[in-house]
Amino acid sequence: MKSRSQSSITVTEPTLQRICAEYLEMPGLQLTLEQAQRLWGLDEDTCARSLEYLVENRFLVRNSRNRYARLTEGSIAIPPLRMAKASLDPARDRRFERACAS
């Protein structure tokens, strides 16, 4: 059986949305990695990467008991999984900077 390399494991936006939705629907939810895997039916690597992505983006925190919980119970946006897009129009950028400076 061929093992997957870590680079082949990707975090998908639908997976992140599902995880975030569960934490938003159940205030106080705290899960271990193993519990999260069972709840969402994910393999260990995908689940771990998804949870760590949400920790890095400050949606979740991993506590001293190795449980993942919401960082805050206030309103928070689900972190997007998108690449930044650079502007290719320098003239437009200068107009925007001048408008902001006014």
Q: Where are the domains of the chain?
A: 8-81
Mean pLDDT score across all residues of the chain: 78
CA distance 90 to 11: 34
CA–centroid distance for 27 within its chain? 18
CA distance 60 to 82: 19
CA distance 38 to 47: 10
Instruction: Dig out the tokens for 74 from the structure.
Output: 């206030």
- Residue 11: other Cβ atoms inside 10 A: 16
What fold is seen in the domain 8-81?
A: Arc Repressor Mutant, subunit A (1.10.10)
Q: Is the pLDDT higher at 30 or at 27?
A: 30
- Give residue 89's pLDDT: 62
pTM of the predicted protein model: 0.64
